[in-house]
Structure 1
């Protein structure tokens, strides 16, 4: 198993929490007629936080894949999930992004994160 699975799980859960925050931002806050985007006060700090978490998760996930060799989770999925998270972190503040595409991106991120969580669970005999 991965050297420090507690850190891996913590980082994964943090990225999942941030992904849910992106969805909430896009669906509830951004469409509000009186909502104004504050780039330096809100967007940049959030994107920086997601970037830090996603990059930490990438390192941990790739190490876990190398050590655990899961059947259905591959390094390219990790890279694509990080790319999607970074893109969604910016897009969640804008209403001109197509809703279906945004939601599909969020669901793809969540799917990979939950698949890894399921793979981390001990197998029942």
Structure 2
């Protein structure tokens, strides 16, 4: 049995990570901050990747079981790929601002859709 409540919590954690990365990117663009790769960047990217793996398994099962109208497997896989990129790029600020913004909005859009679907479906 799929635990919708735990998927909801994981989804909210990813939303938090995406927003945190967005703030870090904005701040880095302004201040030009340098980050130690092994002390800061890699552990953060690893945490994100671990959270994403767990979330992806749950969200794929959720989509398979409940078939939400506007959420599809490709979107979930894009969230995984794009959120990993956002978190990594947020430390270096080398990615074009518009691309970073588009990736962030895409990730947040899908995550919010899942969050809303779980809440309205009352599937806990």
RMSD value, Cα:
1.4
Q: Distance in 2 between matches of 1:3 and 1:37?
A: 39
Unaligned 5+ runs, structure 2 = none
- Whose relative contact order is higher, 1 or 2, with alpha carbons under 8 Å and at least 6 apart? 2
2:21 maps to what in 1? 22
Map of 1:39-54 to 2, 5 A cutoff? Answer: 39-54=37-52
TM-score relative to the length of structure 1? 0.90
TM-score between both structures, scaled by the size of structure 2:
0.91
Cα distance in structure 1, aligned partners of 2:8 and 2:94:
34
Where does the alignment leave 5 or more consecutive residues of structure 1 unmatched? none
Cα deviation, residue 30, structure 1: 4.9
Work out the number of aligned pairs and report it. Answer: 121
Q: Which moved more, 1:59-68 or 1:22-31?
A: 22-31
User: How far off is 1:119 after superposition?
Assistant: 1.3
User: Equivalent residue for 1:81?
Assistant: 79
Q: Is 2:107 aligned against 1:109?
A: yes
Q: Which of 57, 60, 78 is the matching residue for 1:62?
A: 60
Higher helix share: 2
